[in-house]
A = this chain, B = another copy of it.
Amino acid sequence: MKKKEINVALIGYKFMGRAHGNAYISAPKFFSLPVQPVLHTIVGRDQKGVAAVANQWGWKSFETDWRRVLENEEIDLVDVGTPNSSHAEISIAAAEVGKAIACEKPLAMNVAEAKAMVKAVKKNRVHNYVWFNYRRAPAISLARELIDEGRLGKIYHLRAVYLQDWIMDPNFPLVWRLQKKIAGSGAHGDLNSHLIDLARFLLRTEFDEVCGMAKTFIKERPIEIPGRGFATVKTARKKGKVDVDDAVLFLARFGNGAIGTFEATRFAKGRRNGNQIEINGSKGTLVFNLERMNELQFFDDTLPKQEQGFRRILVTEPVHPYIHGYWPPGHIIGYEHTFISMVVDIMNHLAGRTKEFHADFEDGLRCQEVLDAVLLSCKERRWVRIKEVA
């Protein structure tokens, strides 16, 4: 008996296009799924570029205008992998025509957009997902299980940093991620969005208030000259203003009484993808570092004092979240598996095998509220309660 097919249209074909496309291919191979994802159509504005990706990754067709896939009745799931500025428009349009939607993070450019998106998916009762992929790193899923079981006791502290260093060269060009009109913000929306989401996911509490600061270390960068690409140190004088942050740091109070620090930066030399989180509770501590994503450190205060210590759990056992679909113990998985596991969950949800799904657009909105509150706090140099911007 052939499985029901889920025809996917993926808008965007670059970095996220690869990550998502690979996930649709791999998920039904590593896992037994109730429905079969089909790489139906990939969309990109550059015809040559998108055609090449379609060919290499096995998409059945491609388009240069995303509106075409919304018109196509065959499409079941619209995957929004574009820069942030078009998330709302595409998602709302997709909702209006009844498509399920998987949207990249951050959900929107601001709370207003995010609210409109939530409204649209609710009104049209369409399935909606946000690609907060790190929720499905097995170590993160395990961390949540341990917290849910009360292994940390009462939570006191969370400290989260997301450290990168890929734009530290002053001659690194003014790519879309450094332009406010396309990206919304800099490291903040890109990286703090992950940290905020993981904090909500792991602690099962909402942010109460925040106080932050933003910094742009390099204020001008080479801009693209049509037909000649980005200026480089040698060829070009032409520079444009960087109007997003390079780093945003903030303090937070949570609804459950815990307190936290957050930092997103692209100026931490040597930290390539340093998403690091530590949570301290009355009974224990958990530590995660994305650069060693197969590991979770756990300090358990209920063990006898003389043998307490930070336990490096290699999260590659069949009993660990998602691992049964992959490899034997000690055979590590990588970055891409967070996407594969998310596709597994999406397909199970679309098929009705599971009732709940996280993260959805509501989660995306909650995250957006915190992002906006932090930016307001940075601007007005004061503590901002989340409900001020909600």
Measured between beta carbons, the chain B residues less than 8 angstroms from A250 are: 251
Binding site for B on A (CB under 8 A): 15, 19, 21-22, 25-26, 28-30, 32, 56-58, 142, 145-146, 152, 156-157, 159, 161, 163-166, 168, 211-213, 215, 217, 247, 249-251, 253, 257, 259, 261, 263, 265, 267-274, 278, 280-285, 290-294, 296-301, 305-314, 316-317, 319-320, 326-337, 381-383
B320 near A331 with CB under 8 A, answer no
Measured between beta carbons, the chain B residues less than 8 angstroms from A261 are: 249, 261, 263
Q: A249-B259, A270-B284 are in contact. Are A311 and B311 (CB under 8 A)?
A: yes
> How far, in whole Å, are A268 and B253 apart by their CA atoms in the complex?
16
Measured between beta carbons, the chain B residues less than 8 angstroms from A271 are: 280, 285, 330
Which 5 interchain pairs have the tightest Cβ spacing? A273-B330, A272-B330, A270-B299, A309-B313, A334-B334
Measured between beta carbons, the chain B residues less than 8 angstroms from A152 are: 269
Q: What is the total number of copies of this protein in its complex? A: 4
> How far, in whole Å, are A332 and B295 apart by their CA atoms in the complex?
12
A272 to chain B, nearest CB (A): 3
Q: Which residue of B lies closest to A382 (CB)?
A: B382
A285 near B270 with CB under 8 A, answer yes
Q: Which residue of B lies closest to A383 (CB)?
A: B381
> How far, in whole Å, are A182 and B94 apart by their CA atoms in the complex?
57
> How far, in whole Å, are A27 and B267 apart by their CA atoms in the complex?
34
> How far, in whole Å, are A278 and B165 apart by their CA atoms in the complex?
14
Q: A168-B282, A253-B213, A259-B213 are in contact. Are A335 and B331 (CB under 8 A)?
A: yes
Measured between beta carbons, the chain B residues less than 8 angstroms from A283 are: 269
A269 near B301 with CB under 8 A, answer yes
A388 to chain B, nearest CB (A): 14
